[in-house]
Amino acid sequence: METILVLLHTPIAKPGLETLEAARTLGGDLVIGLIGADPQAAAQSIAGAGRILAVDGDAFAQPRYSTDAAAAQALLTASAATIVLAPSTSRWSRALPGLAQRANGRIDTHVTALNGLTLTRWYYRQRIEASLTRTERPWFLLLESGIGPAYTPTAAEAPIERISVDSATRTQPKGLISPQSGEQTIKPEADLLFVAGAGWTKKQKDGAIHLDQAAELILGLLKSSNASLGSSKSLVDLSGEGHAVLPFLSHLNQVGQTGSTPRHPKGLATCCHGEEPHVVGWRFIQDRRAVNLDANCGWARGKADVLYVADAFEVMEELNRLLTTAHN
Ligand SMILES: Cc1cc2nc3c(=O)[nH]c(=O)nc-3n(C[C@H](O)[C@H](O)[C@H](O)COP(=O)(O)OP(=O)(O)OC[C@H]3O[C@@H](n4cnc5c(N)ncnc54)[C@H](O)[C@@H]3O)c2cc1C
């Protein structure tokens, strides 16, 4: 029988709880390895799932390759696991490939589904979907968020067993630099993905560009709906070409073949043509809607559930008015 280790760092966010629930469907012995500042408090959200081992202390509160890999290695040894599952957080995505190498194991990243020990993932810029399994152990799997339901605690108590790890390191974090210049616009947990396309920066029916108004309408909607902001490639590429741009957008907002594949329940695209390389990033959006002046745009060709053929400036003006009224 396989021993399955689920690696989580504190605080345990939704992708971690989804990974835990996915691990429970595999059968086998389940051990949870927690690292971070306060594992006892975090353990409450996973109470009843299985034996909990923890590595804590100041050195493990900070994301850092050397300490994260050392903690994961100690948890691997203590659990004697053959399968290791972890959510695809930046922390685990950085630390686990190196550990898999050290442990003479194998790792698969960007896992989008698990059917027993057969995983599904995408290759070639999300054009080819593959199912595969491996015989080598230990086998590490990094699971994408949205892989399934999240675990809910089934017990009141969550006892932890502490594992001590040497935390000697030469790397000290000095601070955090975020590429977002203004407020946080990427919100993976939001119910709505709002996509802005290059049309927002194009000449409108009066022959002029209305960038300030576009920025005001988009930010207004984000504020009143708490939506996550996505973008087409054309719009984020404009800054590199020296054109007028929306300052709160970066390549991190880009959705599509060479961008991200977010998983919000609903999506609304505005001033975006709906070309295949963009829409391929909408694969996991369940309800897709678009606003475009062009009745023959890409969205009209089976890519959207609903296409509103309208001026997005006018639609958004009215939408923001309705949302603001509803909130007051
Ligand atoms: C290898 C490769 C990879 C790529 N990867 C990606 C990717 O990851 N993501 C991505 O997005 N693209 C990607 N692209 C580019 C993609 O093919 C398109 O060029 C891009 O998505 C177009 O962006 P857009 O729809 O915002 O701009 P445009 O094609 O310029 O469309 C603007 C739209 O705005 C509409 N519009 C203008 N004014 C208004 C208004 N007032 N109201 C309503 N509608 C209005 C217009 O009718 C038009 O349809 C890739 C291309 C290649 C070749």
Instruction: Give 294 Cα–ligand 1 centroid separation in angstroms.
Output: 12
Among all chains, which residue has been given the structure tokens 């059968």?
A: 27
Q: Which helix (H) or strand (E) holds 205?
A: none
Q: What is the pLDDT of residue 180?
A: 52
Q: Which long-range contacts (CB under 8 A, 24 or more apart) does 281-287 make?
A: 281/126, 281/230, 281/255, 281/256, 281/257, 282/255, 283/126, 284/146, 285/193
Give the residue, by CA position, lying nearest to ligand 1 atom 19.
Answer: 234
Instruction: Give 276 Cα–ligand 1 centroid separation in angstroms.
Output: 9
Give the residue, by CA position, lying nearest to ligand 1 atom 4.
Answer: 277
Instruction: Give 123 Cα–ligand 1 centroid separation in angstroms.
Output: 23
Pocket of ligand 1 contains residue 256 by CB under 6 Å: yes
Check if the beta carbon of residue 129 is closer than 8 Å to that of residue 120.
yes
* Range list of H helices, the chain: 14-24, 39-43, 65-79, 90-102, 211-225, 233-237, 276-279, 312-327
**Structure token digits, residue 284:** 């996991």
Name the burial class of residue 220, with classes exposed (0-12), middle (13-18) and buried (19+) by CB atoms within 10 angstroms of its CB: middle
Strand partners, 114: 119
Domains of the chain (ranges, CATH numbers): 3-162 (3.40.50.620), 192-327 (3.40.50.1220)
Pocket of ligand 1 contains residue 259 by CB under 6 Å: yes
Instruction: Give 3 Cα–ligand 1 centroid separation in angstroms.
Output: 47
Q: What is the pLDDT of residue 243?
A: 73
Pocket of ligand 1 contains residue 277 by CB under 6 Å: yes
Cα–Cα distance for residue pair 311/220, rounded to 1 Å: 17
Residues 6+ apart with CB under 8 A from 262: 188, 193, 228, 230, 255, 281, 284, 285
Give the residue, by CA position, lying nearest to ligand 1 atom 50.
Answer: 277
Pocket of ligand 1 contains residue 312 by CB under 6 Å: yes
Quote the pTM value: 0.72
Q: What is the pLDDT of residue 32?
A: 98
Q: For the chain (length 328 residues), average pLDDT per consecutive 10? A: 97 95 96 95 96 95 94 98 96 97 96 96 83 98 93 94 91 74 78 97 95 95 94 88 79 93 95 96 95 97 97 97 85
Q: What is the pLDDT of residue 182?
A: 55
Q: In ligand 1, which atom is closest to the CA atom of 315? A: 42
Pocket of ligand 1 contains residue 314 by CB under 6 Å: no
Pocket of ligand 1 contains residue 235 by CB under 6 Å: yes
Q: What is the pLDDT of residue 317?
A: 97
Q: Which long-range contacts (CB under 8 A, 24 or more apart) does 284-287 make?
A: 284/146, 285/193
Pocket of ligand 1 contains residue 202 by CB under 6 Å: yes
- Site to probe by mutation for ligand 1, drawn from 193, 202, 255 as the one with most ligand atoms within 8 Å of Cβ, is 202
Instruction: Give 312 Cα–ligand 1 centroid separation in angstroms.
Output: 15
Q: At 238, phi and psi to the nearest 5?
A: -60, -35
Number of residues in the chain: 328
136 φψ region: left (φ > 0), alpha (ψ -120 to 50), beta (else): beta
Q: What is the pLDDT of residue 183?
A: 65
Q: In ligand 1, which atom is closest to the CA atom of 276? A: 17
Q: How many CA atoms lie within 13 A of 127 on its CB side?
A: 6
